[in-house]
Amino acid sequence: MTTLAIDIGGTKLAAALVDDALNLLDRRELPTPASQTPDALRAALRTLVAPLFPRADRVAIASTGMIRDGMLLAINPQNLGGLLNFPLTETLAAITGLPTLAVNDAQAAAWAEFHALGGDYRDMVFLTVSTGVGGGVVLDGKLVCGSGGLAGHLGHTLADPDGPMCGCGRRGCVEAIASGRGIAAAAQGELAGCDAKAIFLRAGEGNEQAAQLIHRSAQALARLIADVKAITDCQCVVVGGSVGLAKGYLEQVETYLAQEPAAYQVRLQPAHYRHDAGLLGAALLAQGD
């Protein structure tokens, strides 16, 4: 069977065909429309999948947002250009005429990364540092999605009660500080208006403010990881997303985590499937694996 896997992020949409051996074929990307209208997202998804779905048997979606009964419900609508909810499975089933399932992007990625770890681990947590900060939790070999899809939304735990407002309505969430959006929002002066990618480039050129913004993100993530260890006693934390996978970032997180007490230390590693963890995790879930 061939699965059309789709990954809907706050910055980019990705799609590919995935065979039963998890080979990824014909991967494509489009920017996520920065519009509050469901029509803009529907049109972008139609364009993305048009060349792919005629060769697929089913559709598997990994999407930003809480996924409940096939609906996308934003926790942080700012990450989706203000879009609050979207009928995800209904839309893709209508476009493709294929059976369709949907799951949160970080939950999907956690599942793929858990598989990649092999049989040695039972408890692991995946964190994406991307447009937002997402999380997926596997406990005793099972992906935990929660009764309403909220489980693992670790980016919305508290990093700093005096920190910036988060788009979810709380103040000082990890996401408001550590995410790509959070990094960019704190930039001032010569860096005001830069996105996280540009800030990483400037840090690489020796810009002090850029380096500080990245340190602040890495420190918030390390504190989150210590909390995650305390909550789950997981054996491994896997980090993905374009910020999480950026050169030097995970090393900084490791340095901050090493400053925490020994009980909160946990093995950290970058996502084995890099930027494709969400796509492959959704495909695995569709396969029933």
Q: Residue 85 CB, nearest distance to Zn ion (Å)?
A: 17
Q: Which is nearer to Zn ion, 27 or 170 (CB)?
A: 170
Q: Which of 80, 203, 224, 234 binds ligand BMX (CB under 6 A)?
A: 80
- Residues 6+ away with beta carbon under 8 Å from 12: 29, 30, 31, 32
State residue 268 phi and psi, 5-degree precision: -115, 135
By the rule CB under 5 A, 156 interacts with Zn ion: yes
Q: Which of 56, 59, 61, 64 binds ligand BMX (CB under 6 A)?
A: 64
Token couple for 196: 């996280």
Q: Residue 273 CB, nearest distance to Zn ion (Å)?
A: 26
Residue the block writes with tokens 């909220």: 150
Instruction: Count CA atoms closer than 13 A to 225's CA, side-chain side.
Output: 35
Q: Which of 134, 163, 172, 281 binds ligand BMX (CB under 6 A)?
A: 134
229 touches 124 (CB < 8 A): no
By the rule CB under 5 A, 181 interacts with Zn ion: no
Q: How far is CA 117 from the centre of its chain?
A: 18
Q: Residue 10 CB, nearest distance to ligand BMX (Å)?
A: 3
State residue 224 phi and psi, 5-degree precision: -60, -40
Q: Residue 185 CB, nearest distance to ligand BMX (Å)?
A: 14
Buried b (16+ CB within 10 A) or exposed e, 161-175: eebeebbbebebbbb
Report the distance separating Cα 54 and Cα 95, nearest Å: 11
Amino acid at 69: D
Q: Which of 3, 76, 96, 252 binds ligand BMX (CB under 6 A)?
A: 76
Q: Which residues would be at the binding site for ligand ADP (CB under 6 A)?
A: 9-12, 130-131, 180-181, 195-197, 200, 241-243, 246
Residue the block writes with tokens 């993100």: 217
By the rule CB under 6 A, 105 interacts with ligand BMX: yes
Partner touching 246 among ligand ADP, Zn ion, ligand BMX, none, CB below 5 to 8 Å by kind: ligand ADP
Q: Residue 166 CB, nearest distance to Zn ion (Å)?
A: 3
Report the distance separating Cα 119 and Cα 210, nearest Å: 40
136 touches 108 (CB < 8 A): yes
Q: Residue 246 CB, nearest distance to ligand ADP (Å)?
A: 4
By the rule CB under 6 A, 175 interacts with ligand BMX: yes
Residue 122's region, left for phi above 0, alpha for psi from -120 to 50, else beta, is: alpha
Q: Residue 76 CB, nearest distance to ligand BMX (Å)?
A: 4
Partner touching 166 among ligand ADP, Zn ion, ligand BMX, none, CB below 5 to 8 Å by kind: Zn ion
Q: Which residues bind Zn ion (CB under 5 A)?
A: 156, 166, 168, 170, 173
Contacts with ligand BMX, residue ranges (CB under 6 A): 9-10, 64-66, 74-76, 79-80, 104-106, 128, 130-134, 153, 155, 175
